[in-house]
């Protein structure tokens, strides 16, 4: 088995940093200017995480490609960390947004688009009732609130190293001694998440049962396949067990399909015939126009209606003036109807398999103790010989220094990977030559480290 020489890694990283700086004079100038009006020179804190000394500033994005102000073109395998899984600016969505923009963008009144989108979501996910939000974070928050409201319980249960957006209750991890604690990097929690949340490992049936037994958990919030700490697949039978246990203990099951929509048009839920009580879908639903949806069963709908309070329904903690706005619904209608179609997935999934095969070949040829996993049109490599079976295993297989070198090497050779772990996503516009380019660059990057 090969081990990475850290001195060599650091010297290669320095060389790549210099190359990035030399080749991005306009981005550098914009970054320096941005530092005078934007905290850390970026509009959102996580943009600092791009592997270069500063992020490339974008001039344009089209289909599967991004262009920066320095005139460089990138194969975009990050795709806005799933927000642009549709490819950038698909024509059908542009047209719908443009038409709607001339006819009013937000009215706080329903339009027929809301029904069309809900009907399409019904067909895809089999949840009969739907509501809208602007982000998947908000949709998750609203589901948690509703679950507490319905069950009269306070606790939420999540899986170790999950990510569901900036939802306070979810920033909790298992510590080395097995107790739960605030997640590393959790900024200004309103309350210690240990008070609100229980956390167990994914694929650990007995830990889940033990945590639910007390009968104080309102809901389990889970991605059906973990995607935010690398990809962690459920072990055979885990979903069935989770469904049975949640039903046994009167806990609602919320599946967050925001990333796992990469599995197919109805996400992992439809592909595997899962039956959650609530389901969340955001990010690419409007091709990047802010929007998210959450659906639920007839039983949940009845329970909500039974507790409805007309006079206070606008201030109960579920809402958002712009949620379900006409522009966002027009974007969702066009994107679901014309872009994120079954036909698109038939193209995207083999592309991800091609990407996986390219990475696997390099891993095999160089005897690297790494693994690569695919879920639908998403794939990811991790620095462990075997795919992880839970969040702790996945997290311990991360290597920030190595990851940054591989990402920066890719950027310098015209490829964007998501700046969080090593994920690559395919859009309907991604071509075989884009994938083969990555296979070649990944191999060259590995050669830099070990030859």
Q: Which two tokens stand for residue 262?
A: 């990469």
Question: Contacting ligand PLP (CB under 6 A), which of 120, 256, 380, 403?
Answer: 256
**What is the rounded distance in angstroms from the CA atom of residue 253 to the CA atom of residue 222?**
8
Q: Which stretch binds ligand PLP (CB under 6 A): 36-44, 135-143, 382-390, 431-439?
A: 135-143
Closest to ligand PLP by CB, 124 or 164:
164
Long-range (24+ apart) CB contacts under 8 A made by 24-33 are 24/52, 24/54, 24/56, 24/68, 24/70, 24/72, 25/70, 26/57, 26/68, 26/69, 26/70, 27/54, 27/55, 27/56, 27/57, 27/68, 27/69, 27/70, 28/53, 28/54, 30/57, 30/69, 31/55, 31/57
Question: Contacting ligand PLP (CB under 6 A), which of 55, 87, 90, 165?
Answer: 165
Token look-up 């099951």 returns: 253
Instruction: Indicate whether 159 belongs to the interface with ligand PLP (CB under 6 A).
Output: no
Other Cβ atoms less than 10 A from the Cβ of 178: the count is 7
Q: How far is the CB of 164 from ligand PLP (least distance, A)?
A: 4
**What is the rounded distance in angstroms from the CA atom of residue 164 to the CA atom of residue 157?**
12
Question: Contacting ligand PLP (CB under 6 A), which of 27, 151, 258, 390?
Answer: 258
Beta bridge partners, 295, equal: 130, 279
Closest to ligand PLP by CB, 258 or 269:
258
Closest to ligand PLP by CB, 136 or 340:
136
Closest to ligand PLP by CB, 280 or 359:
280
Instruction: Indicate whether 328 belongs to the interface with ligand PLP (CB under 6 A).
Output: no
The residue number with the shortest CB distance to ligand PLP is 165
Q: Which stretch binds ligand PLP (CB under 6 A): 22-30, 145-153, 163-171, 365-373?
A: 163-171
Per CB under 6 A, which of residues 213..232 are in contact with ligand PLP? 223, 228
Per CB under 6 A, which of residues 339..398 are in contact with ligand PLP? none
Q: Is the Cβ–Cβ distance between 161 and 392 less than 8 Å?
A: yes
**Which residues sit at the interface with ligand PLP, rule CB under 6 A?**
81, 135-137, 140, 163-165, 223, 228, 256, 258-259, 282-283
């Amino acid at each position: 088995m090969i081990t990475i020489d850290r001195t060599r890694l650091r010297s290669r990283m320095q060389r790549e940093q210099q190359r990035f700086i030399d080749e991005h004079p306009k981005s550098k100038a914009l970054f320096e200017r941005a530092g005078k009006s934007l905290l850390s020179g970026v509009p959102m804190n996580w943009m600092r995480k791009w592997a270069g000394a500063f992020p490339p500033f974008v001039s344009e994005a089209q289909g599967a490609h991004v262009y920066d102000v320095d005139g460089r073109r990138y194969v975009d395998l990050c795709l806005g960390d799933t927000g642009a899984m549709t490819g950038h600016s698909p024509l059908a969505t542009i047209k719908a947004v443009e038409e709607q923009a001339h006819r009013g963008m937000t009215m706080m009144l329903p339009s027929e688009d809301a029904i069309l989108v809900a009907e399409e979501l019904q067909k895809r996910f089999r949840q009969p009732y739907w509501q809208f939000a602007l982000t998947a974070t908000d949709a998750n928050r609203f589901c948690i609130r509703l679950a507490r409201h319905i069950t009269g319980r306070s606790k939420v249960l999540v899986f170790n190293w999950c990510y569901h957006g900036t939802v306070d209750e979810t920033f909790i991890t298992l510590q080395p001694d097995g107790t739960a604690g605030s997640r590393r990097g959790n900024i200004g929690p309103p309350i210690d998440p240990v008070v609100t949340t229980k956390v167990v490992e994914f694929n650990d049936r007995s830990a889940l049962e033990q945590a639910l037994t007390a009968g104080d958990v309102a809901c389990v919030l889970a991605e059906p396949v973990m995607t935010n700490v690398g990809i962690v697949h459920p072990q055979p039978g885990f979903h069935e067990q989770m469904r049975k246990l949640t039903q046994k203990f009167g806990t609602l099951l919320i599946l967050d399909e925001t990333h796992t929509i990469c599995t197919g048009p109805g996400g992992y839920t439809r592909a595997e015939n899962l039956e959650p009580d609530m389901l969340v879908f955001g990010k690419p639903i409007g091709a990047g126009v802010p929007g998210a949806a959450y659906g639920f069963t007839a039983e949940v709908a009845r329970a909500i209606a039974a507790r409805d309070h007309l006079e206070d329904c606008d201030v109960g903690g579920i809402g958002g003036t712009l949620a379900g706005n006409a522009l966002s619904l027009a974007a969702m209608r066009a994107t679901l109807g014309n872009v994120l179609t079954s036909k698109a997935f038939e193209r995207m999934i083999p592309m991800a398999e091609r990407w996986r095969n390219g990475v696997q070949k390099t891993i095999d040829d160089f005897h690297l103790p790494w693994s690569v996993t695919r879920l639908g049109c998403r794939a990811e490599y991790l620095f462990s010989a075997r795919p992880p079976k839970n969040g702790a295993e996945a997290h311990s297989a991360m290597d920030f220094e190595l990851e940054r070198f591989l990402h920066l090497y890719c950027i310098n050779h015209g490829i964007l990977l998501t700046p969080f772990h090593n994920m690559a996503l395919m859009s309907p516009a991604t071509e075989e030559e884009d994938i083969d380019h990555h296979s070649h660059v990944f191999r060259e990057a590995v050669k830099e480290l070990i030859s």
